[in-house]
Structure 1
């Protein structure tokens, strides 16, 4: 069993808030095996996406939609549309326009933005005949999609999160936002994406039911400017009986990534059930959850990024750790005052 992969799947489940860990959500998660998903706050309401982890096979280049949206048009309604935020989107956003159609529904990759290790991609799902995408009476139901999702062709581990934004549940479109965090740079690669059927959670049946059937396959290049800065390098802190060394901090207006090394090698329980044991949960806490990451903005607001997803890799008596997260909004660098890791504070000076 791949312990690191198991751990990464476990971290995905840790992103849910208590409210999102409701009975319905738990049943939905169980129905979508090996999913990698996280809910976020959309403009009006949150709908869970469950993406079953499957192998994405080689796919051809998807067709163009004929209407190429600008990156600002795509991202501003979701990640912020102030003048400063729009300027950032114009600088680092990249329009895509690749699409595929099946069963009278088109999925289009509209645009991508990110930094060296993190990216956000917006997909639009559209019913082609102009009728409502969701069946009548299901506007408040939980929406799901399965498939491999966006998969960059890189040699490194990735962590994905997805959520829907549906400003008008009665129209023929919904937007799917997928974020990718990787252990290696991803801002110059090719991405394949595959989605299988669109589903709604049926409370009475206790299972997900497809309302639009088909397989959508897209392939597109990821090209955007990396606007990140790098902080840290060798600073240490101690907690939970270990000494942690901060290897590097990568910070941009859209995301952060923190790499650090613990001076003890993590030991997993060897549990083969597929569920996290109490012993492994304790290890996750020691090496990952308990490592506090706080981003302080110039207005005094503090963002707690400690629950960010990541990876844990034992190596020669030590443990290599990485935590990363795409922000729910664009934060101009000049609005960041400092970031702290394990109590070590790093001032941020915008260029």
Structure 2
């Protein structure tokens, strides 16, 4: 029997924010800009030993596992840079399997399959409204990170649904090695009433290897200067991969308005204000142009970090629901500086 939970207005708003990414269409990336403050922030901790339940082993290709998330247009690239995993844990009649992984130096995608062991189908009208009560993927990385997660029901008539976690580290690199995923309690959100119904009470713990090919390319040979709302930024890094992107740099000084904001800034509780010195530092326009003429606003996928003490910033993220062949990319424009893309 489903157990109904009730939330305050503030809790409902937080739940909606957490489900914002799940509302995006799972095939075509959106061209609208999402505020950076709505990305999920986390601090990844050093992984510890965790027990792992027995379960079915995924034996297919990485592209098979990611087809529900990224489609089938870039299977060759996914199989080149991604790796199948095949690690499972079972509880409450549900087997959770980490199927495959792919990423680059700073961005990571992991896809899981949830299988009902009794063979029955998942009785949900919209998989994008599903959520775990708690879900974390911990890497051997100490530092800031952001990302998101959502469910996809590739075949509503079978006993499986897919779940993808995207993680971007703000400083350092994603270390190759081991990671662990911990998930508990499956819930569904009612957008009409704001209620959350607990579908399944359970706990799933997995350990898997972080191993894949980093095919990112650096587009800069020298730093460039870009004018933003915070002042003139010196951009020192522009990296692009089939999975995501990263831009980083610093400000020698802020403009007068931003400096005044920085001097008077007090950390706000909850959501970051729409206009803050940190947001201004990161608000660097980044647009990818494909050879077909299509443009993709990479700010749609961006999170990042900003350090007031040395005025440095990063802007980075995974593409929401797409993999891009770099051979199909013409250029990336940062501010008013256009950088050609040459795949390696």
TM over 0.5: yes
**Counterpart check, 1:276 vs 2:272:** yes
Match of 2:297 in 1: 304
Do the aligned partners of 1:237 and 1:343 also contact (CA within 8 Å) in 2? yes
Q: Secondary structure at the match of 2:142?
A: coil
What is the alpha-carbon distance in structure 2 between the residues aligned to residue 311 and residue 241 of structure 1?
A: 14
What is the alpha-carbon distance in structure 1 between the residues aligned to residue 43 and residue 227 of structure 2?
A: 39
Do the aligned partners of 2:151 and 2:162 also contact (CA within 8 Å) in 1? yes
Match of 2:153 in 1: 166
Match of 1:176 in 2: 163
2:21 corresponds, among 33, 38, 43, to 38
Do the aligned partners of 2:288 and 2:332 also contact (CA within 8 Å) in 1? yes
What is the alpha-carbon distance in structure 2 between the residues aligned to residue 79 and residue 225 of structure 1?
A: 18
**Counterpart check, 1:128 vs 2:112:** no
What is the alpha-carbon distance in structure 2 between the residues aligned to residue 54 and residue 347 of structure 1?
A: 34
RMSD of aligned alpha carbons? 3.0
2:186 corresponds, among 198, 201, 214, to 198
1:216 corresponds, among 204, 220, 241, to 204
> Structure 1 residues 236 and 197, CA, compared in 2 at 3 Å: closer, same or farther?
same
Query: Unpaired segments of 5 or more residues in structure 1?
Result: 1-24, 45-49
Moved more, 164-173 or 200-209: 200-209
Larger RCO, structures 1/2 (Cα 8 Å, 6+ apart): 2
> Structure 1 residues 105 and 71, CA, compared in 2 at 3 Å: closer, same or farther?
same
Match of 2:313 in 1: 321
Match of 1:292 in 2: 285
Q: CA deviation at 1:170?
A: 4.2
Q: Secondary structure at the match of 1:68?
A: coil
Q: Secondary structure at the match of 2:187?
A: strand
Match of 2:125 in 1: 139
Do the aligned partners of 1:97 and 1:110 also contact (CA within 8 Å) in 2? yes
1:343 corresponds, among 336, 339, 343, to 336
Q: CA deviation at 1:250?
A: 1.3
Query: Unpaired segments of 5 or more residues in structure 2?
Result: 1-8, 29-38
Match of 1:78 in 2: 69
What is the alpha-carbon distance in structure 2 between the residues aligned to residue 221 and residue 93 of structure 1?
A: 12
Moved more, 165-174 or 61-70: 61-70
What is the alpha-carbon distance in structure 1 between the residues aligned to residue 331 and residue 192 of structure 2?
A: 49
Q: Secondary structure at the match of 2:225?
A: strand
What is the alpha-carbon distance in structure 2 between the residues aligned to residue 54 and residue 62 of structure 1?
A: 26
Residue-by-residue CA offset, 1:257-294 (whole Å, 9 max, x unaligned): 1112123377273245334346xx332442123x1000
Q: Secondary structure at the match of 1:247?
A: strand
Residue-by-residue CA offset, 1:241-262 (whole Å, 9 max, x unaligned): 5110111111111211111212
What count of residue pairs does the alignment treat as equivalent? 312
Q: What is the TM-score of this pair, normalised by structure 2?
A: 0.81
Do the aligned partners of 2:27 and 2:70 also contact (CA within 8 Å) in 1? no
Do the aligned partners of 2:58 and 2:85 also contact (CA within 8 Å) in 1? no
Q: CA deviation at 1:350?
A: 2.1
Q: CA deviation at 1:109?
A: 0.6
What is the alpha-carbon distance in structure 1 between the residues aligned to residue 113 and residue 277 of structure 2?
A: 39
> Structure 1 residues 244 and 29, CA, compared in 2 at 3 Å: closer, same or farther?
same
What is the alpha-carbon distance in structure 2 between the residues aligned to residue 52 and residue 329 of structure 1?
A: 22
Do the aligned partners of 1:62 and 1:219 also contact (CA within 8 Å) in 2? no
Do the aligned partners of 1:37 and 1:161 also contact (CA within 8 Å) in 2? no
What is the alpha-carbon distance in structure 2 between the residues aligned to residue 52 and residue 276 of structure 1?
A: 12
